[in-house]
């Protein structure tokens, strides 16, 4: 699905471009949120059941979104935000982001501190390495948590507010530029709006009811699964791990340069695990029992 996002970085003439909004800011029950050794906040996502995928009448629906019942059997913590540039640099020791003061000429932002922007230009393999290093960092601080990327099912379950949301987006069936960072020239169910033509600070738009920000738009989010168009018809109902093999990995949530339909809760992006550019980042997960 290698889109035209990269080309858009150098071809934004005639588009509606404005300034970004200000950032928002076991036996016993798990705590509602935790903060780890890298300063990342993670929110609790309870176990439960939901309907994954999209109904056939949903606007913008793709053919690989068959609705099916899924059960997430264990609660988990998910990053409140994408992993930010500062957090990535703290754990890995570098910041590969295009949208940073020292970034690619195609996305360099020399007029601002981008430490609280999502890290971008990270491959699936880079994200995996980050999770391993973050796990080691927590262990040094006496916290025995194992971090990883969410499965595709866990990601959609969290996006859908533990199954409470059954609409195209966590907050309804329409998406405009007041609710997410995407190409506002291509909204869904509402009028055209601003197009930033780049990423923006994590948490610049309202969170869902679980307290998770930017589940729609801003930067694509890697999931752990291999992508397979027909997996929904053959995968297990409980904690589906994704196919055993494939050529591309799942990405969810959409990005600053895509249309509203690609930001839907059920939309399934995918790319090579070695792919990276200024549209791709991730958030992390760890189990609540750890």
Query: CA neighbours within 13 Å on the CB side: how many for 206?
Result: 10
CATH architecture entry for 32-290: Alpha-Beta Complex (3.90)
* 48-52 and 41-45 strand pairing: unpaired
25-34, 81-90, 202-211, 274-283: least confident range: 25-34
Q: Tell me which of 140-154, 241-255, 270-284 is least confident.
A: 140-154
Across the range 124-152, mean pLDDT stands at 95
Which band of pLDDT confidence, cut at 50, 70 and 90, is reported for residue 4? very low
Please report, rounded to a whole number, the percentage of residues in the chain having pLDDT higher than 90. 83
What's the mean pLDDT in 95-117?
92
User: What pLDDT is attached to residue 27?
Assistant: 43
Mean pLDDT of 140-154: 94
Q: Where are the domains of the chain?
A: 32-290
Q: How confident is the model at residue 24 (pLDDT cuts 50, 70, 90)?
A: very low
pLDDT at 7: 46
Alpha carbons 140 and 37: distance in angstroms, whole number: 9
222 within 8 A of 149, measured Cβ to Cβ: yes
Checking if the pLDDT of 1 tops 90, the result is no
Distance, in Å, from the CA atom of 169 to the CA atom of 150, rounded to the nearest integer, reads 19
Residue 187 has pLDDT above 60, yes or no: yes
| DSSP H helix total and E strand total for the chain | 4, 10
pLDDT at 119: 98
Read off the pLDDT of residues 45-100 as tens digits, 9 standing for 90 and up: 999 999 999 999 999 999 999 999 999 999 999 999 999 999 999 999 999 999 99
Average pLDDT over residues 8-17: 40
Q: pLDDT tier at 179 (50, 70, 90 boundaries)?
A: very high
CB atoms within 10 A of CB 66: 15
Mean pLDDT of the chain: 91
- Residue 21 is predicted with a pLDDT of 46
Tokens of 100: 């940073």
Structure tokens, 283: 């958030």
pLDDT band for position 290 (cuts 50, 70, 90): low
Q: How many CB atoms lie within 10 A of CB 269?
A: 25
Residues, the chain: 290
Contact 18, 287 (CB under 8 A): no
Contact 262, 252 (CB under 8 A): no
CA atoms within 13 A on the CB side of 18: 15
């Amino acid at each position: 699905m290698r889109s035209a996002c990269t080309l858009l970085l150098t071809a934004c003439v005639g588009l509606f471009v404005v300034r970004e909004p200000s950032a928002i800011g076991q036996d016993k029950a798990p705590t509602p949120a935790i903060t780890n050794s890298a300063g990342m906040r993670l929110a609790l996502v309870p176990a439960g059941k939901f309907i994954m995928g999209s109904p056939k009448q949903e606007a913008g629906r793709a053919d690989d979104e068959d609705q099916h019942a899924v059960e997430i059997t264990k609660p988990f913590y998910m990053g409140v935000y994408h992993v930010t540039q500062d957090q990535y640099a703290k754990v890995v020791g570098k910041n590969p982001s295009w949208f940073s003061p020292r970034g690619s000429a195609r996305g360099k932002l020399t007029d601002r501190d981008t430490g609280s922007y999502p890290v971008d230009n990270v491959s699936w393999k880079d994200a995996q390495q980050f999770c391993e290093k973050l796990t080691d960092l927590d262990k040094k601080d006496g916290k025995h948590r194992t971090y990883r990327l969410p499965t595709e099912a866990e990601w959609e379950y969290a996006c859908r507010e533990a199954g409470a949301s059954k609409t195209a987006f966590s907050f309804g069936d329409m998406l405009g530029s007041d609710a997410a960072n995407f190409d506002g020239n291509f909204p869904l169910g509402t009028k055209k709006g601003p197009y930033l033509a780049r990423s923006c600070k994590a948490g610049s738009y309202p969170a869902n009811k679980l307290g998770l920000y930017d589940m729609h738009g801003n930067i694509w989010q890697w999931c752990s699964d291999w992508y397979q168009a027909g997996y929904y018809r053959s995968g297990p109902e409980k904690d589906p791990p994704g196919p055993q093999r494939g050529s591309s990995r799942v990405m969810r949530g959409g990005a600053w340069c895509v249309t509203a339909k690609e930001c839907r809760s059920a939309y399934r992006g995918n790319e090579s695990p070695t792919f990276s550019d200024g549209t791709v980042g991730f958030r992390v997960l760890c189990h609540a029992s750890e």
